[in-house]
Amino acid sequence: MDVHNAFLQGDLDEEVYMLPPPGYRQKGETLVCRLHKSLYGLKQASRQWYSKFSAALCDFGFCHSESGHSLFYLNRGAASVFIILYVDDLVITRSEISLIEEVKAMLHARFHIKDLGTLKYFLGIEVARSANGLTLNQRKYALDILKDCGLLGTRPMDTPMEQNLKLDNELGTLLSDPSSYRRLVGRLIYLTVTRPDITHAVDILSQFMHQPRQTHLDAAHRLLRYLKATIGQGLHFSCNSTLELCAYCDSDWASCPMTRCSTTGYCIFLGDSLISWKTKKQHTISRSLAEAKYRAMAVAT
- Alpha carbon 142 to its chain centroid, in Å, reads 15
Distances (CA, A) of 216 to 17, 90, 151, 213, 236: 49, 38, 17, 5, 31
Provide the pLDDT for residue 8: 35
What's the CA dihedral at 168, 172, 178, 181 to 10 degrees? -70
In Å, the largest CA–CA distance within the chain is 76
Distance CA 92, CA 78 (A): 17
Q: Report pTM.
A: 0.78
Distance CA 104, CA 92 (A): 9
* Per-residue pLDDT tens digits of the chain, which is 301 residues long: 433 333 333 343 445 667 777 777 777 777 887 777 667 777 777 888 888 888 999 998 899 888 888 899 988 888 889 999 888 888 988 877 778 888 888 888 888 888 888 888 888 889 998 888 889 999 999 999 999 988 888 898 999 888 888 888 888 888 888 999 999 999 999 999 999 999 999 999 999 888 899 999 999 999 999 999 999 899 999 888 888 999 999 998 888 888 888 999 999 999 989 999 999 988 889 899 999 999 999 999 9
The partner residues of 268 in beta bridges, in order of sequence, read: 247, 276
Provide the pLDDT for residue 111: 86
Q: How many CB atoms lie within 10 A of CB 172?
A: 17
> Residues 271, 244: contact at Cβ < 8 Å?
yes
Provide the pLDDT for residue 43: 74
Amino acid, single-letter form, for residue 61: G
The partner residues of 63 in beta bridges, in order of sequence, read: 73
Query: Domains in the chain and their CATH numbers?
Result: 1-36 (no CATH), 45-116 (3.30.310), 136-234 (no CATH), 241-300 (no CATH)
Distances (CA, A) of 91 to 53, 124, 160, 172, 280: 14, 14, 32, 45, 30
